[in-house]
Amino acid sequence: MNLRMKIATGAIALVSAGLMTFLGTWEGNGQNVVYADNLARGLPTVCKGVTKHTSPVPVVVGEYWSDARCAEVEKLVVQKGQLTLADCLTNQQISQNTFDALSSHAHNVGTANTCASRAVGLINAGRIADGCRALAWAPDGKPVWAYVTDAQGRKVFVPGLYNRRRAEAEMCLK
């Protein structure tokens, strides 16, 4: 049974309550005013990480989104990302927690980046625990996916991103 089939039969849920709670922890709950995300070089962002790159409607700094609009667009954005993610996951033995952790990662860094990651490569090769750890750590134990490029072009470590990566790895391993 492929992952899309597992989704169709309900064995793996899209937009699970656990994922949405997790995203709220890291992206914010009640973030109804569009803001310029400093970590993403001013990218207009609202709700639980909805951006102009993922939203089917314009995301304009300063605009207010109702809770209902946030919930509707978040669901569309997360579901679309998860269906794309499902297409790059060939290991059908992943759990809901592993799928949710990968979904959070993809929501934050982009689905294409997650699909091309060492973590997904390891998970697809049947090394789920190693892949889960690869969400947060390189083979040498150094943090990964926890850096942004500043205005001067320097890579800057962001403790909050590292904490998120560690939380994703922990969720993935459950």
What local confidence, expressed as pLDDT, does residue 13 receive? 96
Whether residue 54 contacts residue 77, with contact meaning beta carbons closer than 8 Å, is answered with yes
SS3 48: coil
> Among all chains, which residue has been given the structure tokens 């939203």?
55
Residue partners of 171: CB distance under 8 A and separation at least 6:
22, 97, 100, 101, 104
CATH number of 3-26+69-173: 1.10.530.40
Domain residue spans in the chain?
3-26+69-173
Q: Token pair of 118, please?
A: 């060492």
pLDDT digits (tens, 9 = 90+) for 137-159: 999 999 999 999 888 889 999 99
Taking residues 93-107, what's their average pLDDT? 97
Q: What is the mean pLDDT of the chain?
A: 95
Number of helices (H), then strands (E), in the chain = 8, 5
Percent of the chain with pLDDT over 70: 99
Whole-number Å distance between alpha carbons of 131 and 53: 27
pLDDT digits (tens, 9 = 90+) for 26-69: 998 889 999 999 888 899 999 999 999 999 999 999 999 999 99
Q: What is the pTM of this model?
A: 0.95
Q: Could you give the count of Cα atoms lying within 13 Å of 82 in the half-sphere of its Cβ?
A: 25
Instruction: Give the H or E element holding residue 139.
Output: none
First and final CA of the chain: distance in angstroms?
Answer: 22
